[in-house]
Amino acid sequence: MAKEEKNYVNKEREDEMEIYGYKQCLWKLVLVAIGVVCTGGFLLLLLYWMPEWSVKATCTQTSLKEAEIVLLRTTDEFKTWFRVKVYTVFFPGTDPMENSAPRVSKTMENDEGARAAQHHVEHRKKKFLRKISENKAFMVRYFEHHSVTYFWNNFLQNFKDLEGLTEGISWSVIHSHHSKGLSKDLEEYRLFFGANEVEVKVPSVFKLLIDEVLNPFYIFQLFSVTVWTFNGYYYYGVAIIIMSVISIVTTLHTVRKQYIMLHDMVAAHSTVRVSVCRPDNEIEETLSTDLVPGDILVIPSNGTVMPCDSVLLSGTCIVNESMLTGESVHQTKINLPNPVKMSKGLEDDEIYSPEKHKRHTLFCGTTVIQTRFYSGELVKALVVRTGFGTTKGKLVRSILYPKPTDFKLYRDAYFFLLCLVGVAGIGFLYTIINSVLNEVRVGTIIIKSLDIITITVPPALPAALTAGIVFAQRRLKKLGISCISPQRINICGQLNLVCFDKTGTLTEEGLNIWGIQRVEDNSFLPSEHNICREALVKSHFVACMAACHTLTKIDGKLSGDPLDLKIFEETGWVLEEATEEETALHNQIMPTVVRPSKQLYPEPVAVMDHEMEMYDLPASYEIGIVRQFPFSSSLQRMSVVARVLGEKHMDAYLKGAPEVVANLCKAETVPESFPEVLKIYTKQGFRVIALAHKKLGSRLTWHKVQNVSRDAIESNMEFMGLIIMQNKLKPDSSRVLEELRKANIRTVMVTGDNMLTAVSVARNSGMILPQDKVIIAEALPPKDGQTAKIHWLYADNASRHLDTSDTASEFIDIKMENKGSGDGLHQMNHYHFAMDGKSFSVVTEHFQDLLSKLVLHGTVFARMAPDQKTQLVEAFQNIDYYVGMCGDGANDCGALKQAHSGISLSELEASAASPFTSKFSDIACVPNLIREGRAALMTSFCVFKFMALYSIIQYLSVTLLYSELSNFGDLQFLFIDLAIILVIVFTMSLNAAWKELVPQKLPSGLISPSMLFSVMSQILISAVFQITSFLLVKQQTWYEVWTPNSDACSSSKLNVTLEHNNTSSQDEKNIKNYENTTVFFISCFQYLIVAIVYSKGKPFRQPTYENYPFMVTVLVLHIFIFLIMLYPVEVIDEALELVCVPYNWRITMLIIIIINAVASFVTEIFLLDLTPWKLLSKRKELGVSHNPANNHQEVLNQKSKSCLSSFFSCGYRKPKAKYMYLAQELSVDPDWPPKPKTTTEANKNHTENGACQIITIM
């Protein structure tokens, strides 16, 4: 029988999941109920922890159509399972999912199909109204998962979410069928789409408490305390309960506080009153929560916060999208063109996509600052997505439900605990067999057997591991770094790659003009820094600076692109816009006017009347902006047509990327030294913009210029010169990046800004070294039957031409390598890939096999949307990097949450998603966080090893005493567990971080040769000396089976006798005996010895001798135990149930302890910390460095010269980390990196085999 085909929800999307249908089975439920009763509820806990087991144990598999419960499994590497209940409800009307086949093919072969699909929609609306009147209803089946509702779709025979109006709808259909809005009576859509809100529900304290208490560690602690209670061991049980309660309360407070922060952040402006246009042109006021896709929203003239994703149908809007992009650039949104009214008609029709057509889309959460409309027409927008389906909703979902982070320490910790459980199982069986052979009571056998498990797996381990994290959190707070996810501190110690946002993180927010360099008589004049002077007021150069922009006034304040704003402010001119009344009167050709300020251009004649002042100055020199050609990223330029008041002709002004502008100018006007001058500035990291001018003919009237083509204006220009601008780095950026580089930690820039700026900042900050090459990966999606392709462009080191407009441009002045085939560079590994968000999307979709290679050497990722930043972090994690993310905006939230460790430089939106928040707005917090993370991780290793040795040492002690049907007394256990173990653990965790980052790498987990050797060697040493002392005491001449009348000390030099009352009760538990006393003293010193051995300092922590609480604790405990061992005190001996032994045996125990200490120190320090393991560890680290720009082959050659290294690693092993293995492969790959002038094309069947084809372009 053929295997049943798998079903998926969110197919081929980031959150793709397998889905399986199940129905509850009565007889399975009965069997599970019996099992729960028989296991005392443990089976119920097991099913709670394993959702897939709970479903399979209580249900039978069925089709999705009949499913009562669905089992979901993510298709990523984590394969996470979710159990979700399917609900069935009845609604009046029609099923909106009925026959919901894709309405329009993505290629949209003809518009008739789109119109037919829309006709079907209208038909369904009428059918709905008819059924309402007939009181008919239909059944709806759905389930909710991660804030998304999935409805049953009969056509697809699967569950599917409602995506609104973003699937296969063309521009023409939007205007012809959706521009009138929805009737208020269409409750069908309002029922199914639900409330339009992005709601973050704050879980109740009770729910959080249940989730936390049912953690396996706390369940085991409860089990241990129960066993100890039956065994009469109350004191330590109470101590464990107190620590657990403190830990639970702290966790609940932290988690609830985080939810409340996120709730408050999302709730702000989420519900507003809006105006909705109905089909009868009626404007209705309603709440934004009532909006559904298809509604027509009227955007108020004074702006609003968008409550949904919508496409602009009429008018224009000025929008602040910093919530999405992180860049404080006000964007101008224009209405979606109507192909019917365009010159080419339906030939210009396209399928609407919010991501592709951002210029026409108003995204949820962004702020509309101002609207513009003409002739009294309202600014309208069609709602296309609502609730969690919006861009803001997806961002919040990425924060609420991030993918799990895989940290090897925690995986190894669970594995190690399973090993301890195995050891406990052996002790469990040994105890039962030994007790049965000695005819011990059944109740005692059960208690003792379970007690051996609680000894082997220490219940205090979570508290012990938490101590180091808590102390690290306190130290971070002193450094100005707050933490809402303490468990992430340990992961910070493993970070080997950090992604940085640019604006506000690496650089200052603003731009500065360094100067200008004008051209006269076909040659450059000396650079000038003072632009605001009278001699330049009437020059075309300053006129271009003042007029060539898209600035506007909002509430009387200039607003727009920061670069345009900076240039305009530098001129000292003023801008005046037409009022709404003037615009309505004169239509949209009423010009914006710019003129010099009075200080720059004083009145030519004295003004006698104040009222005349308004006319004198503009009459002297005033420029009206007649038409604007906005910046285009594909053209890399913008231009305007302007007229000086009183002149009969108009002028065209152009600004943009230097190479682009120069190519549009007359050759005789461009200085011959243009390339050299440009190179001088770009070498220094300046951003350069070129300006040009052209005088237009007098026959070109005001009305004719509105219809002239852009190409006609932007040709045969006269080159005027350059504007040189600085994008200043923050003072600490370069120093911190250098510190991270020396510590072998990769740094990557991921920003919403343009690539030119990003590459320049990367160069200037030292992220890309001067001698390193930059390879631009320009990926293009499939088009006109051609496959997707990547153009590889090698940028010259010196030619980093950064345009400067929005945006200033995505143009890159790239000097193609013409020196041979590029093989010289090919053998170099000092190269970096750079790409923008569009290219990243193409690579992710069509070049999966190249993605890991590109991110391995990728250093600059520009124009990245918030979800792309998250995807990039995941891409790094997929090749086994431990990724940190540092940003300051809401657009970084998803990446901050997804990264192993995210740190926000803002206490606003980003702080709600980020585990760490710095109160200082520079990246100096990053190395501080990594240093503290390394210290905390090293502390966790030390504590874990110490707790493992503690449990094994105590396990050995108890097992040896069980052989004599003895055990430790309650106060002996209490002294060991509280006075020694807990005090040592807490003081051991106080070591502060080392003052600098070192290249040396910490182990990523517990299962490593050095860690295993350390633990196993100490276990062996402890076992040998404990067993030796246990056997040796029985060989003493004075030894006998101890009784209350025994007096082994009578002949000793100490001459101490303990008088016992013959009427005293017998020791029923057989605590007092010579074996007990001997094992107690030996084990106590063994705890102290391993504590000192495992408490390590440099290079990750301060030296142990600087940890004064730990040193004092160890010293006091040593003195105390030495005293009670050599000079017993009757009161203490009675309390601890110790017996008197001869003085010579006490000296023998002292000698055993000293030899034990020497053996432990020699093994750990000389055999582990020195030559062999260090060489092996160094070999692994040097085999492939974290910085892929290193020449790996050279390192491998150097490594092979070490005979000791070769001896300890004969037979080279494949690195465990994927990025290391990949770097090794690429270091010997003759076809990587791609050569200049080549193109990589995707195979048409790339979805099957992921193959790519390299084609050389001649």
* All residues at 6 or more sequence positions from 186 whose CB lies less than 8 Å from its CB, including other chains: 125, 128, 294
The closest of 1083, 1128, 1130, 1113 to 976, measured between CA atoms, is: 1083
Secondary structure class of 1134 (helix, strand, coil): helix
Note the residue count of the chain.
1258
Q: What's the distance, Cα to Cα, between the start and end of the chain in Å? A: 54
Based on its alpha-carbon atoms, the radius of gyration of the chain, rounded to whole angstroms, reads 37
Count of CB atoms within 10 A of residue 1035's CB? 7
- 1027's tokens: 């067993």
Counting DSSP H helices and E strands in the chain, the numbers are 44, 44
C-alpha to C-alpha distances, 744 to 301, 740, 1190, nearest whole angstrom: 53, 6, 10
Q: Residues 571-592, buried b or exposed e (16+ Cβ, 10 A)?
A: bbbbbebbeeeebbeeeeebbb
CA distance 375 to 1000: 69
- 370's tokens: 């101002």
Burial bucket for residue 949 (CB in 10 Å: 0-12, 13-18, 19+):
buried
The closest of 594, 624, 578 to 373, measured between CA atoms, is: 578
CA distance 965 to 958: 10
- 440's tokens: 């011990």
CA distance 869 to 54: 36
Whether 501 is catalytic: yes
Answer whether 548's CB lies under 8 Å from 640's CB: yes
Among candidate residues 501, 561, 651, 977, the one labeled active-site is 501
Element (H, E) at 884: strand 883-887
CA distance 689 to 545: 11
* All residues at 6 or more sequence positions from 809 whose CB lies less than 8 Å from its CB, including other chains: 631, 633, 636, 637, 656, 657, 660, 754, 756, 803
Half-sphere exposure of 950 (CA within 13 A, CB side): 28
- 195's tokens: 């409330």
CA distance 1030 to 428: 21
Element (H, E) at 248: helix 234-267
CA distance 368 to 1010: 59
Q: What are the φ and ψ backbone dihedral angles of 1063, each rounded to 5 degrees? A: -90, 0
Answer whether 757's CB lies under 8 Å from 726's CB: no
Question: Which residue type, as a one-letter code, is found at position 1183?
Answer: G
CA distance 1006 to 874: 24
CA distance 489 to 481: 11
CA distance 1002 to 998: 10
> Using H for helix, E for strand and C for coil, what is the string for 406-458?
CCHHHHHHHHHHHHHHHHHHHHHHHHHHHHHHCCCCHHHHHHHHHHHHHHHCC
* All residues at 6 or more sequence positions from 835 whose CB lies less than 8 Å from its CB, including other chains: 755, 776, 777, 778, 779, 843, 854, 858, 860, 861, 862
Residues marked as catalytic: 501
